[in-house]
C-alpha cells in the first residue's frame, strides 16, 4: 500500500481512469492468488523460511525497478504489480504455518494476532511512508524506492534469526508424524472440511471490502473535500496527500485495536463457549457493515464524521483477521496447513479483492459517464459504487455463523486425524 499513498499522482502521471487505477490492484491480487497454491505445496514440503525470504527479496527488487517506468509504459507498470504479487504470496502463504508450529492454544492466538497486526499496521504505514517520501523528495517515484530497503532488511533478518520448526511440533507433545498425505488427498480433505470452506468464504468477503477500501477510500475522501470546500482538482506536480496520511494513520490504529480486541474477546468468550472464534468474527463483521454504510451517508456533509465511521468500521472489520487464521489451525492438521492457508488465500482473493477495486472503479466510471465534469457526480458515483462493500460484509458475517455450526465437529476430526498420523516415541526405531 505504499503506492496507494501516491495514488492520485500515479493516476495523473499515467492518465488513467478509476477503473485503470483499480486494475493495478486487480493484477496484483490475481498474481498473488495464482502463486499461493504453488507456495502452499512447497511450504508443506521444503524449507519455509528460505522460500519466504526469497519472495521478499524478489518483490523488493521489482518494486524498486517499477519506480523507473516512464509514463508511456503504463502496461509495464501494471505488469510490475503482478510480479510483486508473486513475491508477496510466498510470505503470506507460509508465515502463519511457522507460527502454528511454534505455539498452540491461547499462546498461538496471541502470536497470530501479533503477526496479523502487521497487515493493517503495515498498510497504514505504507500510506504514510508513500506520502511522506513523495513530499520529502518532491517526486512520487521515491515512494517506491524507500520501501525495498526495508524489505531486503527484513528478508535478511528472517534468514538469520527465524527458526525452522518441525511441522506439527507444537501440536505433538510426544511422537512424530509417521506419514505425509498426498496433495490430492489434502485437497479432498479440505473440500470436505465445512469450517474451512465457510471461513474461507467469509475471508473472501473481508478481502473484497478491504481491497476496495484500501485503494479507493482516500480518493473518495479527496473528492468529498472538493465538494465541501470546493477545492480545485490536482494539477500540480505533487498532489495533496492529506487524506492518504490520515487514512493511513487510522488504519494503523484500528489495526492495532481490532487485533487486540479480537484476541482478548476470543480468549474471554472461550470460557463461555467453544464456538467463540467464529461467533466473535460474525458479530464483528455485522457491526462493521453498519458503520461502513454510515460513511457514505455523512461524507458529503462532514469529513470528520466520515473518519469516525471509518475508524469504528475498520476496527470491527480487523477483529477477525487473526481469529480466522486460528480457526484454520484448529480444524486442519499440521502437514496440510500451508496448503490450507494458500488455498484460503486463493479463494479469498479470487472472490474478494482480485476484482473489487476494478469492479467498483467500473461502476463508478459508468455512473459518472454523462457527468464527467461534475465534481459532485465524481464524488457520488464512487460513493454509490463503494456501497456494495457493506452488503458483502454482511454476507461474510453469515458465513462465519455457518462456520460456528460445524466448528466443534471439524476440530474433533482434525484431532483424531493427527493422532492417527502420529507415531508414539516407544515405536520409533533408533
Residue ranges per domain, the chain?
A: 1-164, 182-420
Top-confidence residue, 423 or 19: 19
Inform me whether the pLDDT recorded for 7 exceeds 80: no
Q: What is the pLDDT of residue 284?
A: 93
Top-confidence residue, 401 or 144: 401
Q: What is the pTM of this model?
A: 0.71
Domain 1-164 top-level CATH class? mainly alpha
Which of 159-168, 189-198, 210-219, 308-317 is predicted least confidently? 159-168
Which residues lie closer than 8 Å to 196 by C-beta, 6 or more apart? 190, 328, 331, 332, 340, 344, 410
Predicted confidence band of residue 370 (pLDDT cuts 50, 70, 90): low
Top-confidence residue, 284 or 24: 284
Q: Where would I find the H helices in 165-229?
A: 183-192, 194-228
Q: What is the pLDDT of residue 244?
A: 65
CB 318 within 8 A of CB 262: yes
% pLDDT > 70, the chain: 83
Report residue 161 CA to chain centroid gap: 25
Q: What is the pLDDT of residue 399?
A: 95
% pLDDT > 90, the chain: 13
Predicted confidence band of residue 320 (pLDDT cuts 50, 70, 90): confident
Predicted confidence band of residue 193 (pLDDT cuts 50, 70, 90): very high
Q: Which cell numbers hold the place of 53?
A: 525470504
Which CATH architecture fits 182-420? Up-down Bundle (1.20)
CB 292 within 8 A of CB 313: yes
Q: What is the pLDDT of residue 281?
A: 92
Inform me whether the pLDDT recorded for 156 exceeds 80: yes
Decide if 1-164 and 182-420 have a common fold: yes
Mean pLDDT of 141-160: 81
Amino acid at each position: 500500500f505504499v503506492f496507494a499513498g501516491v495514488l492520485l499522482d500515479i493516476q495523473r502521471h499515467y492518465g488513467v481512469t478509476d477503473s485503470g487505477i483499480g486494475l493495478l490492484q486487480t493484477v496484483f491480487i490475481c498474481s498473488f492468488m495464482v502463486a499461493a497454491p504453488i507456495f502452499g505445496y512447497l511450504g508443506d514440503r521444503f524449507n519455509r523460511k528460505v522460500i519466504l525470504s526469497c519472495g521478499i527479496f524478489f518483490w523488493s527488487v521489482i518494486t524498486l525497478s517499477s519506480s523507473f517506468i516512464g509514463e508511456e509504459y503504463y502496461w509495464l507498470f501494471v505488469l510490475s504489480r503482478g510480479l510483486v504479487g508473486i513475491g508477496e504470496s510466498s510470505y503470506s502463504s507460509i508465515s502463519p504455518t511457522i507460527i502454528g508450529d511454534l505455539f498452540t492454544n491461547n499462546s498461538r492466538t496471541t502470536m497470530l494476532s501479533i503477526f496479523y497486526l502487521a497487515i493493517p499496521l503495515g498498510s497504514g504505514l505504507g500510506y504514510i511512508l508513500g506520502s511522506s517520501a513523495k513530499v520529502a523528495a518532491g517526486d512520487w517515484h521515491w515512494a517506491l524506492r524507500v520501501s525495498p530497503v526495508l524489505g531486503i532488511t527484513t528478508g535478511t533478518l528472517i534468514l538469520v534469526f527465524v527458526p525452522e520448526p518441525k511441522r506439527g511440533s507444537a501440536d505433538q507433545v510426544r511422537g512424530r508424524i509417521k506419514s505425509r498425505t498426498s496433495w490430492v488427498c489434502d485437497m479432498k480433505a479440505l473440500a470436505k472440511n465445512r469450517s474451512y470452506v465457510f471461513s474461507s468464504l467469509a475471508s473472501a468477503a473481508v478481502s473484497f471490502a478491504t481491497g476496495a477500501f484500501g485503494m479507493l477510500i482516500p480518493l473518495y475522501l479527496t473528492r468529498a473535500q472538493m465538494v465541501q470546500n470546493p477545492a480545485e482538482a490536482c494539477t500540480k506536480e505533487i498532489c495533496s496527500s492529506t487524506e492518504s496520511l490520515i487514512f493511513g494513520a487510522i488504519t494503523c490504529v484500528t489495526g492495532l485495536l481490532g487485533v487486540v480486541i479480537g484476541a482478548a474477546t476470543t480468549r474471554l468468550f472461550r470460557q463461555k463457549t467453544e464456538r467463540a472464534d467464529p461467533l466473535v468474527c460474525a458479530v464483528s463483521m455485522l457491526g462493521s457493515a453498519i458503520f461502513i454504510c454510515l460513511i457514505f451517508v455523512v461524507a458529503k456533509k462532514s469529513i470528520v464524521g466520515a473518519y469516525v465511521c471509518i475508524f469504528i468500521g475498520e476496527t470491527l472489520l480487523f477483529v477477525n483477521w487473526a481469529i480466522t487464521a486460528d480457526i484454520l489451525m484448529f480444524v486442519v492438521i499440521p502437514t496440510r496447513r500451508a496448503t490450507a492457508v494458500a488455498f484460503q488465500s486463493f479463494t479469498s482473493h479470487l472472490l474478494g479483492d482480485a476484482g473489487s477495486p476494478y469492479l467498483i472503479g467500473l461502476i463508478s466510471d459508468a455512473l459518472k459517464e454523462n457527468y464527467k465534469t461534475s465534481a459532485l457526480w465524481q464524488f457520488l458515483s464512487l460513493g454509490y459504487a463503494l456501497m456494495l462493500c457493506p452488503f458483502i460484509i454482511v454476507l461474510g458475517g453469515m458465513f462465519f455463523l455457518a462456520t460456528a455450526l460445524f466448528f466443534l465437529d471439524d476440530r474433533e476430526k482434525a484431532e483424531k486425524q493427527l493422532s492417527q498420523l502420529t507415531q508414539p516415541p516407544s515405536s520409533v526405531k533408533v
